[in-house]
Amino acid sequence: MKKIFLYLFMLVSAAVLAADVWDADVVYLICKPAIMITLGLYYLVTQKENNQPVSRSLVLAILFSCVGDTLLMLQGREASFFVYGLAAFLVAHIFYILTYRQHRSDDNANELQGLQKIRYAFPIILSGTGLVVILFNRLGGMKVPVVVYAAVLTTMVITALFRFGRTNATSFGLVFGGAILFMISDSLIAINKFLEPLSMAGIWVMTTYILAQYLIVTGLSRHTMADTPY
């Protein structure tokens, strides 16, 4: 059953990318919200088939991502939809942070230590803050929302990094890779909206976003939850 939802996820994802290329607005409007719906169903069925509990915080992250997708899709009709979409994704990132903290072992003997955490987290912090600094004078009335969002997004990626040594290598790699791609996707959105238009921006944004969400959800499902409270 999970393969059915995985194939549907791949189908609607491909349809969104194709619709962006060929300006098929109706297909885009229908399929974009379906990306996270099908991925969420894939996660739920996967957990059931693997006899693993369902993370409520992950389900909420998926749900708010779907809301964010829908709102950002409508921003062309009214500018305020961008702010609402940003807020939805901010909440989604908070739930992802909570989920990452759930999906890690209590045994911290092999986790990153002191200076290691600083060394590996620094490039992530630099990337998050650097882009905000570059864009700051172009943000206008969006300064506060964008700064807050960037801080939460950066925290999400760092929290994924700090799962190192507290989960299996597959789960860590998939989730951390997905978190990095999420940051790249959001950075492309910010550059395209506030700095300068990017060639094929929609394709690059959606490709990195779709891969990010898939890797995060799949990676979290690869972490075996024994006694973790939900």
Q: Which residue has the higher pLDDT, 226 or 58?
A: 58
DSSP classification of residue 138: G
Angle at CA of residue 39, ends 35 and 42, nearest 5°: 145
Q: Measuring CA to CA, which residue among 104, 152, 160 is closest to residue 132? A: 152
95, 60 in Cβ contact below 8 A? yes
What amino acid is encoded at 163 in this protein?
Answer: R
pTM of the model: 0.94
Mean pLDDT of the chain: 94
Mean pLDDT (whole number) for 102-125: 94
DSSP classification of residue 113: -
pLDDT value of position 32: 97
Mean pLDDT (whole number) for 132-137: 96
DSSP classification of residue 142: G
pLDDT value of position 59: 98
pLDDT band at 75 (very low <50, low <70, confident <90, very high): confident
Residue 77 predicted with pLDDT over 80? no
Residue 140 predicted with pLDDT over 80? yes
pLDDT value of position 229: 37
pLDDT value of position 225: 55
Angle at CA of residue 200, ends 61 and 10, nearest 5°: 45
Residue 12 predicted with pLDDT over 50? yes
55, 210 in Cβ contact below 8 A? no
Helix (H, G, I), strand (E, B) or coil at 91: helix
pLDDT value of position 224: 77
Q: Which residues of 44-70 are buried (b: 16+ CB within 10 A; e: fewer)?
A: bbbbeeeeeeebebbbbbbbbbbbbbb
68, 93 in Cβ contact below 8 A? no
